């Protein structure tokens, strides 16, 4: 086998990893190169992979314990994999079609997510990723001082709460047969995370708020928080902080949820899109 190659795809983040077959058992040298590329580039991509669900899970577990999603059931034989589906006939929006960080409503949000394309559209359905290191670094010194000690409240209630069912059906297609989502009162639980997070492996600072799950600053009202949060949400997804990935059959994307946000484009009307996602459990943000 040729040596693993890492080819960056943009100036902000993202790289393709070549000459690796994820269906095989990776040796320690191969794994370490992939892990370092992941830390260096924040999101890495693999092409032309032919993976069973079991092989997908095995590769993901090399990076840590896998998370079982509270509101989206996994595959019967592989509960660690959630199916992310939009069918050709679905009329509502797609799953993930808003800037977000996966499961930040948990005390221990995700380390990373590995999304594998099982059936992708002929065109459309790209995913955009944004670098939260850059989002923090490019802030003014004054704003950095303002948010340095702030904490923010995260909750799944805006998406999975009982009273959000109809809104979520319209916005995310959760009511269609394609996605079998549970809504519940436990989604209203709240957790507090620092607004500026220190990455546990790189030591770098990044912004850690997102439009889907962050509702207000701790100790502030929703109204008081709204203006600054809106600025941070918009700032975090500036085009020059991003990269864009075009899916092909058998592609995999692996992103670092500790310092990346992502957005799934909903521009593949009339096509099926079937993906499987594994999520690695992370640690408590500091």
What pLDDT does 107 receive? Answer: 97
Residue 286 lies in a domain: no
Residue 177 lies in a domain: yes
Q: What is the CATH number of the domain that holds 86?
A: 3.60.130.10
What pLDDT does 26 receive? Answer: 94
Quote the CA–CA distance of 35 and 166 in Å, as a whole number.
40
Number of domains within the chain:
1
Residue 135 lies in a domain: yes
pLDDT (average), residues 38-64:
98
pLDDT (average), residues 6-35:
97
277 as an active site residue: the answer is yes
- Per-residue pLDDT of 94-136, as tens digits, reads 888 899 999 999 999 999 999 999 999 999 999 999 999 999 9
Catalytic residue among 151, 193, 216, 277: 277
In this structure, of 46-55, 84-93, 249-258, 266-275, the range with the lowest mean pLDDT score is: 84-93
- Per-residue pLDDT of 145-171, as tens digits, reads 999 999 999 999 988 888 766 666 555
Neighbours of 284 (CB within 10 A): 12
Catalytic residue among 193, 216, 262, 276: 262
62 as an active site residue: the answer is no
What pLDDT does 175 receive? Answer: 45
Domain assignment of residue 67, given as a range: 5-281
Indicate whether this model's pTM tops 0.75: yes
Catalytic residue among 56, 67, 69, 100: 100
102 as an active site residue: the answer is yes
What pLDDT does 35 receive? Answer: 98
- Per-residue pLDDT of 70-83, as tens digits, reads 999 999 999 999 99
pLDDT averaged over every residue in the chain: 93
Decide which of 168 and 201 is more confident: 201
What pLDDT does 162 receive? Answer: 83
Catalytic residue among 67, 90, 102, 266: 102
56 as an active site residue: the answer is no
Residue 147 lies in a domain: yes
Residue 33 has pLDDT above 50, yes or no: yes
- Per-residue pLDDT of 173-189, as tens digits, reads 444 456 778 888 999 99
């Amino acid at each position: 086998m040729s040596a693993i190659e890492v080819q960056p795809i943009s100036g902000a983040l993202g790289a393709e990893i070549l000459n690796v077959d994820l269906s095989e058992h990776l040796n320690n040298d191969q794994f370490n190169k992939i892990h370092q590329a992941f830390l260096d580039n924040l999101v890495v991509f693999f092409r032309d992979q032919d993976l069973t669900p079991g092989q997908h899970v095995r590769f993901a577990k090399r990076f840590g314990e896998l998370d079982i999603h509270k509101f989206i059931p996994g595959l019967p034989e592989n509960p660690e994999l959630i199916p992310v589906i939009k069918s050709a006939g679905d009329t509502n929006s797609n799953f993930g079609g808003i800037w977000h960080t996966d499961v930040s409503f948990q005390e221990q949000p995700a380390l990373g997510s590995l999304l594998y394309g099982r059936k992708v559209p002929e065109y459309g359905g790209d995913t955009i990723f944004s670098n939260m290191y850059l989002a923090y670094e490019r802030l003014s010194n004054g704003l950095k001082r303002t948010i340095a000690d702030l904490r923010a409240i995260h909750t799944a209630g805006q998406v999975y709460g009982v009273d959000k069912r109809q809104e979520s059906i319209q916005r995310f297609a959760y009511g269609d047969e394609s996605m079998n989502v549970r809504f519940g009162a436990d989604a209203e639980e709240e957790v507090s995370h620092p607004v500026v997070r220190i990455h546990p492996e790189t030591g770098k600072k990044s912004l850690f708020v997102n439009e889907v799950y962050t509702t207000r600053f701790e100790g502030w009202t929703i109204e008081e928080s709204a203006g600054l949060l809106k600025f941070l949400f918009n700032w975090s997804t500036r085009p020059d902080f991003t990269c864009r990935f075009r899916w092909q059959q058998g592609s995999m994307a692996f992103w670092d949820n500790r310092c990346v946000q992502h957005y799934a484009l909903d521009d593949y009307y009339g096509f099926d899109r079937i993906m499987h996602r594994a999520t690695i459990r992370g640690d408590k943000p500091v």
